[in-house]
A and B are shown apart, each in its own frame.
Chain A
Amino acid sequence: MIRFDHMTKRYEGGRDALRNISFEVPKGELVFLTGPSGAGKSTLLKLLACIERPTRGQVFVNDRNIGRLPNRQIPRYRQQIGLVFQDNKLLQDRSAFDNVALPLIITGMHQREVGRRVRAALDQVGLLKKEKSAPRTLSLGEQQRVGIARAVVSRPGLLVADEPTGNLDPELSLDIMRLFKRFNDIGVTMVIATHDLNLLNQLGGKRLVLKDGEIDEHTLPEFKR
Chain B
Amino acid sequence: MIYKLRHYFGLHRQNAIDAFDDLIQKPLASMLTIAVIGIALALPAALNLLVQNGRSVADSFDGIRDFSVYLKPSTSLADAGKLAESLRLRSSIKTVRIISADDALKDFQETSGYSEALSTLGTNPLPHTLVVRPTEAADAARLTTLAAELSSKNNVDQVRIDTDWVKRLSAILDLLRRSVAIAGVLLIAAVIIIVGNTIRLDIQSRRDEIEVLKLLGASDGFVRRPFLYVGVWYGLVGGLFGIVLLVISALILAEPIERLTGLYQANFALQGLNFTSIGAILLGGFLSGWIGAWTAVSRHIASIQPE
- Binding between chains A and B: yes
Residues of A within 8 A of B (CB): 49, 51, 72, 75-80, 83, 89, 91, 102-103, 106-108, 110-111, 150
Check A49 against B222 for contact (C-beta < 8 Å): no
Query: Which secondary structure characterizes the binding site on chain A?
Result: helix
A contact residues around B218 at 8 Å (CB): 75, 106
Query: Which secondary structure characterizes the binding site on chain B?
Result: helix
B contact residues around A111 at 8 Å (CB): 10
Check B212 against A106 for contact (C-beta < 8 Å): no
Check B215 against A76 for contact (C-beta < 8 Å): no
CB within 8 A of B212: which of A51, A89, A110? A89
B contact residues around A150 at 8 Å (CB): 216
CB of A153 to closest CB in B, whole Å: 10
Q: Does B79 contact A (CB under 8 A)?
A: no
By beta carbon, the residue of chain B nearest A110 is: B7
| Interface residues of B, count at CB 8 A | 18
B contact residues around A83 at 8 Å (CB): 215-216
> Could you say which of B7, B8, B214, B217 has the most chain A C-beta atoms within 10 Å of its C-beta?
B217
The total of interchain contacts (Cβ-Cβ below 8 angstroms) comes to: 45
Given A51-B306, A51-B307, decide whether A75 and B214 contact each other with a Cβ distance below 8 A. Answer: yes
8 CB < 8 A contacts A-B? A49-B215, A51-B215, A51-B306, A75-B218, A79-B217, A103-B217, A106-B213, A107-B217
Q: How far is the CA of A165 from the CA of B62 in the complex (A)?
A: 88
B contact residues around A108 at 8 Å (CB): 7-8, 11
> Could you say which of B7, B209, B218 has the most chain A C-beta atoms within 10 Å of its C-beta?
B218
| 0/1 string, B213-233, CB within 8 A of A gives 1 | 111111110100000000000
Given A51-B307, A111-B10, decide whether A106 and B217 contact each other with a Cβ distance below 8 A. Answer: yes
Q: How far is the CA of A108 from the CA of B7 in the complex (A)?
A: 8
B contact residues around A72 at 8 Å (CB): 219
Check B209 against A75 for contact (C-beta < 8 Å): no
CB within 8 A of A102: which of B8, B216, B219, B307? B216
| List of 8 A-B pairs having minimum Cβ-Cβ separation, nearest first | A79-B217, A78-B217, A75-B219, A106-B218, A75-B217, A103-B216, A89-B212, A106-B217
Check A91 against B212 for contact (C-beta < 8 Å): yes
| 0/1 string, B278-307, CB within 8 A of A gives 1 | 000000000000000000000000000111
A contact residues around B306 at 8 Å (CB): 49, 51
By beta carbon, the residue of chain A nearest B6 is: A110
A contact residues around B216 at 8 Å (CB): 78-79, 83, 102-103, 106, 150
CB within 8 A of B215: which of A80, A89, A107, A110? A89
CB of A47 to closest CB in B, whole Å: 13
By beta carbon, the residue of chain A nearest B212 is: A89
Within 8 A of A (CB), among B187-221: 209, 212-220
Q: How far is the CA of A148 from the CA of B214 in the complex (A)?
A: 17
Q: How far is the CA of A102 from the CA of B209 in the complex (A)?
A: 11
